[in-house]
Amino acid sequence: MFVPLLVLRNMFRHKLRTLLTALGIVVAIASFGLLRTVVDAWYAGANASSSARLVTRSSVSLAFALPLTYAQKIRQVPGVGSVSWANWFGGIYVSERNFFPQFAIDAPTYLGMYPEFVLPDAERKAFLTDRQGAIAGRKLADQYGWKVGDTIPLRGTIFPGTWTFNLRGIYEGADRTVDQSTFFFHWDFLNESVRKIAPRRGDQTGVFIVELRDPGAAAEVSQAIDATFANSLAETLTETEKAFQLSFVAMTEAILVAIRAVSFVVIVIIMAVMANTMAMTARERYSEYATLKALGFSRAFVAGLIVAESLGLALAAGLAGVALTFPLARAFADAMGTLFPVFFVSDETVALQLAAALVVGAVAAAIPAWRAARVRIVDGLRAVA
C-alpha cells in the first residue's frame, strides 16, 4: 500500500497543474477518438460490403445508364447466382437541406440479396404489393418522424416532377454497421413514368447487383461479365461491392489523410505538454529522490515512482477522454444527420485511445525518470525543494 499511496499523493501535490494536464489529455484523447470515428464512418459502407456481391456499371461513368436487357445476359454467366438492379433517384424532400440516399430497386430480387435489411414480414408484403410503396431505414424515419402509412413526397431532380410514395415499411439493420438512412422504392414505378415522359430513357438502370454462387470466384465472374458486353454500345465495369464503395471514398482521400494526420498531431502535442509537466515535477523533487537513495532505495524504485505517476495520470485522463467520446459522437452524428449513415465509436478506436494515453504517459516520463535515477545523492540534497 505504501507505493500506490505515495504515487497518488505525488500526483495531486500540485492540484491545479495536475488538473490542467489531465484536462488537456482528456480533450486530446476525446478529439483523437472522434476523428478516428469520422474516418471509420467514411469507410463504413466499404467495410460492411459483402464479398458475395458484385456491382456492374457503365465503364464510362455512373452517369451513363445500362439497358435492362443486360440482366438476362448476366444471369447466364457461369458463377452468377442472381441479379438485381437499382437506380439513383436524387429527389428532394421538402427542402434542399434534406438530403438522403434514394434508390429505385427491383424489390423482390434486391431485398433477397440484402438480408442485413431486417423488415417485418407484414411490411415486406405490403411493400412488394404496392407499386407506389416505399421503405425507409429506421434512422431516416426517426429523423423526419415518419410512420408506416405516411405519404412521402419527393421532388425529382434527375427525374423531374413531384413523386409521391406510400411508406409501407421501416427496416432495421441486422447489426450496427448497416446503413439505416436509405429510402427504397420500386424501379418498375419509376420506369413506367419515365417511359411516358421520355421513352428513350426507359428500360435502363444505373447498376446491376450480382450475387455470386462462390465468393472466391469474384475476379473470374467479373471478367466474364465485362467480356460479355465488350465492344458493345454500353460496355461495363464489374467490381466487388467493396471496391465499388471504395471508389467513392477515393474521391475524398486527401481529406481522410488530413484527418488522420490531425488526430496524431493532437496526441503528439499533448505528449509534449505532459513531458513538460513531468519534467517540472521531477526537477522539484530531486532532494526527495536523493533522500530515498540515501535510505537505500534503488534507482529503479525512484524511476518507477515517476513512471507510475505519469502512467496513472495519463490512464485516468485517458479513460475520462474515452467516456467523453461517446456523447460527443452521438451529438456529432445527430448534427450530421444522414451524411454519416453509420457512425459509432468502435472497439478498435477505444483500444487506440487507451494505447495513445499509455504511450503519452510512458514517453512523458522517460527522460525525467532517467534523470532522477541518475541524480547523485549529494547534488540532490543540495537542491532546493
List, as one string, the DSSP characters of 232-263. SSS-EEEEEHHHHHHHHHGGGHHHHHHHHHHH
What is the rounded CA–CA span in Å between residue 58 and residue 55? 10
Here the contacts of 352-355 (C-beta below 8 Å, separation 24 or greater) are 352/32, 352/33, 352/36, 353/29, 353/32, 353/33, 353/36, 353/318, 353/321, 353/322, 353/325, 354/315, 354/318, 354/319, 354/322
Listed in sequence order, the residues at least 6 apart from 358 whose beta carbon sits closer than 8 Å to its beta carbon are 311, 314, 315, 318
pLDDT band at 223 (very low <50, low <70, confident <90, very high): very high
pLDDT band at 305 (very low <50, low <70, confident <90, very high): confident
Helices then strands, counting H and E runs in the chain, come out as 15, 12
Would you list the domain boundaries of the chain? 2-44+252-382, 60-234
Percent of the chain whose pLDDT exceeds 90: 56
- Select the more confidently predicted residue: 297 or 324: 324
Of 334, 327, 333, the closest CA to residue 44 belongs to: 333
pLDDT value of position 385? 45
pLDDT value of position 348? 93
State pLDDT tens for residues 276-293.
Answer: 888 887 777 767 777 777
Mean pLDDT of 73-95: 93
Q: Which residues of 358-382 are buried (b: 16+ CB within 10 A; e: fewer)?
A: eebbebbbbebbebbbebeeeebee
What is the rounded CA–CA span in Å between residue 300 and residue 384? 23
State pLDDT tens for residues 142-152.
Answer: 999 999 999 99
- Dihedral, CA atoms, 156, 158, 161, 164, nearest 10 degrees? -40
Mean pLDDT of 240-244: 92
314 neighbors 21 (Cβ within 8 angstroms): no
Mean pLDDT of 102-131: 95
162 neighbors 156 (Cβ within 8 angstroms): yes
Of 141, 213, 96, 177, the closest CA to residue 343 belongs to: 177
Least confident piece of the model among 31-40, 128-137, 183-192, 298-307: 298-307
Residue 138 grid cell: 429506421
- Dihedral, CA atoms, 110, 112, 113, 119, nearest 10 degrees? 90
What is the rounded CA–CA span in Å between residue 270 and residue 264? 10
Residue 178 has pLDDT above 70, yes or no: yes
Mean pLDDT of 240-265: 87
Give me the chain's average pLDDT, please: 88
What is the rounded CA–CA span in Å between residue 5 and residue 82? 67
pTM more than 0.85: no
What is the rounded CA–CA span in Å between residue 3 and residue 219? 61
Residue 9 has pLDDT above 80, yes or no: no
